[in-house]
Structure formats: C-alpha cells, structure tokens
Amino acid sequence: MSRLINDEVTHAQGGAQRTTTTTTTTARQAPLTPEKSLEHLKRCQAIAVEHARNCFSPYMKALSHAFDVQIDEAKSNQEVAEISGIQRLFQKNRVELEEYFSGYVAEGFVKFKQKTLCTELNTGHGDELSIVDNLDLEESLILSRIVQVVDTALAEPLWALNQRMALINGGEPVREVSNPSSPVQLCESLRKACKLIPMNIDAAKTALNTFSEQLHQVSTDIVADTNQYLADAGLMSDLQYRKSKPKVAKREGIEGEARALSGNDESSEQYQNSLLGAIKDLQKTLSDMARGPEPIGSPLANPFNHQQMIDALQAIQLQSMAMIGMPLTGAGQVLAPVNIAAAQQQLQQHLGKDGRVAESDMHAIDLVGRIFEYILRDDNLPDSIKAALSYLHTPFLKLAFIDPGFFEKPDHPARVLLNNLAEAGIRWIGNDGSVQHNMLEKIRETVDRLLNEFTNDVRVITEVLLDFNHYTKNIVRRQELMEKRAAEKAEGEEKLREVKQRVNQEVMERTEDKELPSSLLLFLLQPWFDYLSFCLLRYGDQSEQWEGALELIDDILWGMEHRDDPHDVQVQKELIERLRKDIFAAFEVIGYDSGKGEKLVNSITDLLQAAIAQREPEPEPEPVQEEAKKVVEEKRSAVPAEAAYKPITAEEQRVVDGLKQIEFGTWFEFDGGRRLKVAWYNSRTMHYMLVNQVGKKEAMLTGLELARKMIAKTAHIVSGSAKPFFERALENIYQNMNPDHAKTAS
C-alpha cells in the first residue's frame, strides 16, 4: 500500500517565496534545486510515516476500549453483536490497517510532489445524497471539528512549516490542505484506511472520534520534527512568527469596505432612492397644505444656518449622556428609549426664537424623526435594542446637516451601521432575555462610542462601523458554518426518511394481503429492508441494484407457492441456490451479522424446500412469531408523508401555503420571546428545521405544526424579509404618509 516518492526529478519552474498576511524576519530565500527539493521531501515523508506507524498501536488500543464501553452500554443483543463484530474485524486486520494508514500518509507526499494535493474536508455534496454520502458527511463533520482544534493549537509551528514547504514547492504558497505533514492529512489517511472495515455510521464515528486523542500528539511530533529538520538543513532557520500590523486604509478604501459590508445591490439602491424621492414629494405636498411638521422658530426671522443647527444638536447630544445617568455599557442596565418628540422640542429650545428652521431642514428633521419612530414601533427589534438604538437619533440628525447626501446614499457608513446594528439585534438578542455572543453589550458600547466621539467628522462613524463589523464577522462565519452543517445533516436525515417510506411502501404492497411465515417477514422487514434502503440511496430507483432487490422479493414470494408444473418445480430448486448467493452478497454490503444472516437464509431455504415438497412448513418458535408481529405493526403504522401533514381546516391550509413561500433565514418568535430561525426546509414533506441564535438545531417542525402555532398566536414571523433595515424603514414611512396625502388630495 505504501507509496514512496520516486527519484525521478521533475524540473519545475521555481519562484521566490511569497508572503501572505504574516511576516518573517528572514530575507527571501532562493528556490531550491529540484534535486535538493526531492531530497528534503523524501526525508519529510520518512518522518511523517515513522510517527504515523508509532501512533497506530496506541490508537488501536484506545479504539478497542471505546468499543468495550459501547458494548457495555448496548441496549440489545443485536447491538452487542454488531459492535463486537466490528471490534473483531479491527483486531483481525490490524496489521493491514496500519499499512494502509501509513501508506496513505506517504501518498500525500507523492501528491504534493505532483502538485495535486488538496485535502478539503467537504461537509456537503450535491442534491443527490446516498448512504455513502451520508456516512462521508458525518465523518467530515467529525474530522473538521478535530482538525480545527489541532490547527488552532499548532497555529505557529504549522505556519512556519507551510513557509518552509513552500520553498520545496518551488516558491508556490502551501496551506494546511496542501501540506502533506498537516493534521488534516493524517485524518484523511485514517478515514481512507478505515474503509477497509465495513461499518455503520455509529461505529465510524467512534473510530474517528477516538483518533482525536492521538492526533494532537502525533501532529505535534511530526510538525516539530519536520520543522527542526528543515531548519537544520538551512530552510529559513531564523524564521519567526509574527502577525503583521494592519495597514491604515485611505478614506476611499474605508468607504469601499463599508459599501461591501452594506449588502445593498444596485436594484436595492435604486428602489431606496425612489422611495426617498416619493417621501420628499409627500413632505413638500403636506407642507404646502399646512399639514407638515410644526415649524421651529419665528416665521419672519432669518433661517438658522447648518452650523447653528449642528452646534445645538451637539449640545443635546452631550446632554443625552448626562440624562442617562450612567454609561450605556453598564452591565444589566435597563434603558428607557428616547422620546423623539421631546428631542425635537429640545432642539427648539437650544435654537431659541432669534431665527427659524428652513423648510428643507424641517423636512430633514421630520424624516430622521420618522426613521427613529419606526425603530420604536418595529416588531422585529427586541425592546432592549429599540431603546439602545433610539439614542442615535441626535447623532443621525446632526449627520443630516453635516453630510446632506447621507439620505441619498444607501451605502453611507451611517446607514450601513444602523442596518447592521438592527440586524445583529434581531439575530442574537431575544425578547425572552437571551443574548448571544455578548451582543447587547457590544451594541450599547457602539452607541455609547458614537455619542462620545462623533462631533463633526464622519470618519468616526466609519471607524465605529468597521470595529462593529470586525466583531460580528467571525461570529457570522462560525454561525453560518454551524447552520450549514445542521442543514446538511437534516437534509440527509430527511432523504433517508423519504427512502424508508418508499421502501416500506414497496414491501407492504407485496406482503399486505398474504399470510407469510414469521421468519420471512423478519427477513423482508429488517435486513432486506436495510438493503433496499441502501440501493435506493446509493443507486436510485432506476438502477439495476434497486430493481434486482425488489425482484428477489417477488422471486421468494413466487417460490413459496406450491407448483404442479415440473418446469416450475425445477425453477424453484434453482432459485434456492441463486437466492442464497444473492442474499449473502447483500448482507455483506450492509454489514449484517453473519450468524443471524445464516439463520434467516436457512429458514427461507427450508420454506422453499417445503413448497417444492408441497407440504406445510414446520411451526416457528413463538418468540420469532411475536417479534414478527411487532415489526409488522411498526411498519404498518408508518404514515405516508402526504397524509401526515394534511391540514384539517381551510385556515390551516392557507397558512401552510403561505409558509411555502418563506425564505431561508426567516425568524419566528415563540411564546416567552424565544426566537428561532428557519435554516432549512423540505418542500416535499414540509419539514422545517429551526435553529437558535447561535446556529444550533432546536426543533424540526412540520408545516402544519408551525401553522397551528401561528393560528394559536403562540408563534409569529419576526422578519419575513431580507431587506436592509433602512429600506424597510423608508417603506414604512412612505406607507404611513401616503394615506394622509391621498385623503387630503381627494
């Protein structure tokens, strides 16, 4: 199995070493000659293979112990037999497994030399899942978790090894997925080696989880020894690990990043600008009809200039902190929201009666006020977030005079910040008091910083935005990964559920009206049921394997009947040998217990021989009959998906139909304020997987169950739209203003 690097040198073009986000204290080294690269690579391969062999014996000992624990905790004799069988196979094939494992480790270096090594732990496949894919998915989830822990612990030496391996690689960058000495390569090598042993998903999980105990130590040894060898050989011997300092971005660069984080596409920008234009038209119409906001100041006085407005608002902004009485970031502090109408009265008091506010400025004051009034009315936002965001009213109003183009720019940092603060509040804070990732404190800290630091420099808002996005970026990435894995697992489980329903239907249709012996029923509804599920998942319902598995049932049922025609009797006799061969081959595929399989096949053979002899079969033991009755009842009670989710009333049907249109990411709020998000659903069976605010699966509800909760008012949709918060606010303002305009015009 073991593959070693051959001595044929590939003359590849080398290049100088390229640096990434980290820096070294060494000067760039010239690329190695192909001969020298091959020499170093062979030595690195020998180090990795030696450590891989040394760790295998402790791993096998730990795995045997893990199986012993499972056997002690088993709930049935069948489970004990299955685990014991797999344990014996591991012991029996111990030497071969070690050869395969070390061979795959060595093969990674061959692929590295050929520049084809890229070991990604894929946690998802296409839409077509198979039983093998489901097993691969489970394995990938386990290994990615294990590898992540070890990669984090070995971040510095792994980085150094990647830099040194890049020299061997002709100057091309090397990452963990392409480094043959990295932890992910060891995990993938073990996964491939374990394919030698037929296992179910639970056993495979045990085999891989047990390896986590050895992975950290063997990876530490391999990476350390390989780094030491390469450093002694002169490859970056004085290499040091240091994170590079971030470069100070230019203003346009910062704004560009803010735009990238805004989530506004071109069509959304046009739509928001059209909404804003319509709102301004309505404001002007209402002002002409004397239905606009109450003017500030004396109608005959000169208008206040923008600097006077900004100075007055700055004074209010400073007072707002004193009115609160303590910092916004106070732990456990409950804030009262800002009274928007009172804030406008404060502005009038600070401006005095020696001037007036121009009509265009009154429109800006009115629009900002409406936006923050919408915040306080928005059912999407938890109450704690409404209160915190309301304190941004004065800074945003001041911004409207400092940067009048703020309203026309959906990608303006202030608008993006408000969008992101609102989204974070919906996503990680619930009305039941739950707060994830310390988000409430972070949001209040962000508001507090704006109140204290924002005077007249818009760059402060950009800096605050980047700081907040930096905080949430890693949280979002981890949560999306968790949600993706939960959705992939749910999709696999749902696919398996549908397959079992199809298999159940096929078997029941063939056996429903027949009086069959108990042993035959147990065969059809247990091991052969599993084999049919395997064929359908792996090959599909148009495959020869699936059709052949169904034909075997038909052949057995045909052979069980008494035949008078000599030709038919001859076919019955030939059928016995063919069936034995086909059944044992299928049992081997699904890993069915050999002892139980032998008994079932012998029982079926006896039944067929009795049919050939045209005599009644021998009575079966009572325990076998009882077990068969129990299994038959379980299969008959399996309700088809369509019937299980059929609504009872017209109202339920209407709500279920509406649920078919919701988007992934829609939030629901349940009794007590608990919020869950739809991360995945099956449009065929109407199963909805709901995750909590950290991305962990909380519930799997049917469409009918969810509809009934909504009708009973114990659940409601929190956010049925993926639109940015500011866009939703403009929509709401326009809708609230338009009826007044229509009524006045009529």
Pair 291, 235 in one domain: no
Q: Can you read off the two tokens belonging to residue 746? A: 């009529």
Mean of pLDDT values over 216-220 = 91
Query: The pTM is what?
Result: 0.48
Pair 103, 199 in one domain: yes
Pair 231, 272 in one domain: no
CATH of the domain at 647: 2.30.30
Looking at the domain assignment, is residue 46 inside a domain?
Answer: yes
Looking at the domain assignment, is residue 529 inside a domain?
Answer: yes
Percent of the chain's residues with pLDDT above 70: 83
The rounded distance, in Å, linking the Cα atoms of 9 and 113 is 10
Looking at the domain assignment, is residue 745 inside a domain?
Answer: no
Q: Is the pLDDT of residue 257 over 50?
A: no
Identity of the highest mean pLDDT range in 269-273, 324-328, 472-476, 527-531: 527-531
Pair 41, 137 in one domain: yes
Query: Over 329-392, what HEC string results?
Result: CCCCCCCCCCCHHHHHHHHHHHHCCCCECCHHHHHHHHHHHHHHHHHHHCCCCCHHHHHHHHCC
Pair 441, 519 in one domain: no
Note the pLDDT of residue 334: 52
Rounded to the nearest angstrom, the gap between the alpha carbon of residue 441 and the centroid of all alpha carbons in its chain is 26
Q: Can you read off the two tokens belonging to residue 714? A: 């114990």
Pair 426, 520 in one domain: no
Number of structural domains found in the chain: 4
Tell me how far CA of residue 325 lies from CA of 289, 321, 393, 448, 453, in angstroms: 42, 7, 18, 13, 18
Pair 232, 262 in one domain: no
pLDDT-derived band of residue 648, with 50, 70 and 90 as boundaries? Answer: confident
Mean pLDDT of the chain: 79
Domain termination residue (choose one: 243, 278, 307): 243
Note the pLDDT of residue 674: 81
Note the pLDDT of residue 303: 83
The rounded distance, in Å, linking the Cα atoms of 324 and 315 is 15
Give residue 375's domain range.
251-483
Residue with the two structure tokens 């080294």: 29
Looking at the domain assignment, is residue 13 inside a domain?
Answer: no
Pair 190, 111 in one domain: yes
Looking at the domain assignment, is residue 309 inside a domain?
Answer: yes
Looking at the domain assignment, is residue 269 inside a domain?
Answer: yes
Euclidean distance between the first and the last CA atom of the chain, given in angstroms as a whole number: 87
Domain termination residue (choose one: 243, 261, 282): 243
pLDDT digits (tens, 9 = 90+) for 126-135: 333 333 345 6
Pair 670, 684 in one domain: yes
Looking at the domain assignment, is residue 740 inside a domain?
Answer: no
Pair 653, 680 in one domain: yes
Beta-carbon contacts of residue 718 (< 8 Å; ≥ 6 apart): 379, 380, 426, 666, 667, 668, 669, 675
pLDDT-derived band of residue 25, with 50, 70 and 90 as boundaries? Answer: very low
Q: Is the pLDDT of residue 684 over 80?
A: no
Pair 605, 697 in one domain: no
Domain termination residue (choose one: 243, 272, 293): 243
Pair 650, 634 in one domain: no
Looking at the domain assignment, is residue 733 inside a domain?
Answer: no
